[in-house]
Amino acid sequence: MKPLFSIIIPVYNRRHMVAATIRSALAAASELPPGTCEIIAIDDGSTDDSIETLRSFEPAVRVIQQANQGCGAAKNTGARAATGNYILTLDSDDALLPGALPLVASLIARTTTPTTSPALIAGRGITFADDAELSTLLGTPAPQSAAAGMQCEQFNCLWASNAQGFASIPSATFIRTDAYLACDGSGPHRNNATDQHLWMGIGHVASYVRIDEPPLCALRRGHESMVSSQERTTLGWLYVAQREAAGNYGAPRWAPQRRRYIARCVRLFLSQPHRGGPRGPAFRLFLAVLPWLSSSRKFGFILRWPLQRLFTPSVPAKPAQASAS
């Protein structure tokens, strides 16, 4: 039987965290009939003992090892190996909550028609501070009425919802495998914003379901992740903005929605204390989205940010090696 779900866990130097992530995925899969879910872990050239931790879960978890190529490439490797109808990329410091997979499985059954099934199902997460708090979350069974009490809304596609409430949490987002592979997945580059590149490519594909309640995953709070590398995040967003400006994401009908989304996300990123990291890439990103900021009438930010950035000390660039989440 072909699995319904393929859980892909990209890993880079997470020896002390990934075991809890895998155990949560195995527990979630055990709530479904056998063969409904497969788990694939991608070791993206870790230099610690992450691969040994992953191997300890075989054969319940399929392990793939590759040279370090970055989080997006690790996700794409997992997607190409997946046999399930839906992909979930679970970050290696996050966890699936009890009841998440049965709930999404029931939603897919309810919203699938003879001609189509949802391309994108996006939920939300709750945060935890440490392993003790995570153990409490994972030890709390999902209520029997979770599916009946689910709060969700279905749209023709992501952009038809105007991306309302879309927080782009990969660990709570299920993507139809054929749609993922058809839109270049998480992209070929080694920088950040790989998930946003995916949303740009898949956002026009029917259909999109947003789950507001209950939460589907637990997110580790305060842990330094890929996004802490400001220059890689800036360059990732620059890649997305340049592809959008060149029309590479297709579906021109939805270009205004995509550009509003990019402008909003970039404005929030550049407004952080680091102002986008090193000046050169930060200013290139600012100029790339300037027309869309103007269309959104963000004139105060347009006038204020360049001056703030000129007087903000540059943060030294992080090493070029990329990491999987």
Q: Which one of 3.40.50.1000, 3.90.550.10, 1.10.540.10, 3.40.50.300 gives the CATH number of domain 5-226?
A: 3.90.550.10
Q: State the chain's mean pLDDT as an integer.
A: 89
Q: Return the HEC string of the chain.
A: CCCCEEEEEEECCCCCCHHHHHHHHHHHHCCCCCCCEEEEEEEECCCCCHHHHHHCCCCCCEEEEECCCCHHHHHHHHHHHCCCCEEEECCCCCEECCCHHHHHHHHHHHHCCCCCCCCEEECCEEEECCHHHHHHHHCCCCCCCCCCCCEEEEECCCHHHCCCCCCCCHHHEEEEHHHHHHCCCCCCCCCCCHHHHHHHHHCCCCCEEEEEECCCEEEECCCCCHHHCHHHHHHHHHHHHHHHHCCCCCCHHHHHHHHHHHHHHHHHHHCCCCCCCCHHHHHHHHHHHHHHHHHCCCHHHHHHHHHHHHCCCCCCCCCCCCCCC
Q: How many CB atoms lie within 10 A of CB 55?
A: 14
pLDDT at 218 over 80: yes
User: Domain locations in the chain?
Assistant: 5-226, 228-310
Instruction: Give the residue from 163, 238, 225, 159 showing the smallest Cα distance to 193.
Output: 238
Q: List 96's β-bridge partners, or say none.
A: 217
pLDDT score, position 320: 46
The set of residues, in sequence order, having a beta carbon less than 8 Å from that of 316 and lying 6+ positions away, is none
Task: Give yes or no for a contact between 152 and 104, defined as CB atoms under 8 angstroms apart.
Answer: no
**Res 106: pLDDT:** 94
Pairing between β-strand 125-128 and β-strand 217-220 as defined by DSSP bridges? parallel
**Is the per-residue pLDDT at 3 higher than 90?**
yes
Rounded percentage of the chain residues whose pLDDT exceeds 90: 70
- The C-alpha atoms of residue 104 and residue 89 are separated, in whole angstroms, by 15
For residue 90, give the nearest of 169, 202, 190, 37 by alpha carbon: 169
Task: Measure the CA–CA gap between 316 and 279, rounded to whole angstroms.
Answer: 11
> Which of 142-151, 196-205, 241-250, 257-266 shows the lowest mean pLDDT across its residues?
142-151
- pLDDT score of 142 more than 90: no
Q: Per-residue pLDDT for 79 more than 80?
A: yes
Cβ atoms within 10 Å of 116's Cβ, excluding its own: 12
Torsion angles phi and psi, residue 66, rounded to 5: -145, 160
pTM score over 0.75? yes
Question: For residue range 201-214, what is the model confidence (pLDDT) as tens digits?
Answer: 999 998 999 999 99
pLDDT in tens, 264-311: 999 999 998 877 788 899 999 999 999 999 999 999 999 999 999 888
At 225 the pLDDT is 47
pLDDT tens-digit profile of 143-188?
A: 765 666 789 999 999 999 876 556 578 999 999 999 999 987 887 7
Q: So what's the pLDDT on residue 162?
A: 72
Q: How far apart are the first and last CA of the chain?
A: 30
